[in-house]
Amino acid sequence: MVEKIEKKYKYWVFYTRRDGNMYAYTDQKIIEELFRMMRRKDIFYEKTIRAGRNDLKELHNRYAINQLELYKKFYLDKKQIIFPVTRLEKINIEHRANQAMVDLAVIASSVPIEIFSKKIRKHLKCIGWDLFYEYYHGDKDIDIFTYVKPDLLKTFLTLYGDTIEEVNFKT
């Protein structure tokens, strides 16, 4: 009787050095390379595993939130930055950024921009203060979120910047 050999799949798994818990995993070499290059080695370590179909099913069912993907919603000076993030990081980034927009809208809708000095008004307009106020008081019929968008890159760096490898750009 010939025993059937189960196919094994290669995965890269990242663990936190602090507690040894799994932080992220992927089966895509390019994502593994980007994560390894962009994240701090003193915080994460990596292991390569080979797993069969049943093990992978359990991995995906139990740890789906830790799966890495390429996040394509970061922009800096209108240039797209593609970054590997876990599904949990993505959820946290988008939730926190949207919450910041709601917080800004609540505050801006109750305080008219005119009470501030011209210098402060200039900065408040950059974050959409005047648009939120006008939107909530019916001064303009606009779709405010076509003008004001959350800064997802800044939110990511606020939440996870301590895990990012320092990069020196040559000018």
Say which residue, 60 or 92, is predicted with more confidence: 92
**Segments making up each domain of the chain, as ranges:** 9-86, 88-160
Answer for the pair 144, 135: CB distance below 8 angstroms, yes or no: yes
pTM for the structure as a whole:
0.81
Question: DSSP string of 25-79?
Answer: EES-HHHHHHHHHHB-TTTEEEEEEEE-HHHHHHHHHHHGGGBEEEEEEEEETTE
In this prediction, what percent of the chain has a pLDDT beyond 70? 90
Q: Identify the DSSP state of 111.
A: S
Average pLDDT over the chain, rounded to whole? 87
Q: Which amino acid makes up residue 77?
A: D
Give me the mean pLDDT over the 57-70 stretch. 91
Residue 171 has pLDDT above 50, yes or no: no
Specify the residue for token string 């005047």. 130
Beta bridge partners of 49: 11
For 137-164, the pLDDT digits (tens) are: 775 566 666 667 888 999 999 999 999 9
CA–CA separation, 45 and 106 (whole Å):
42
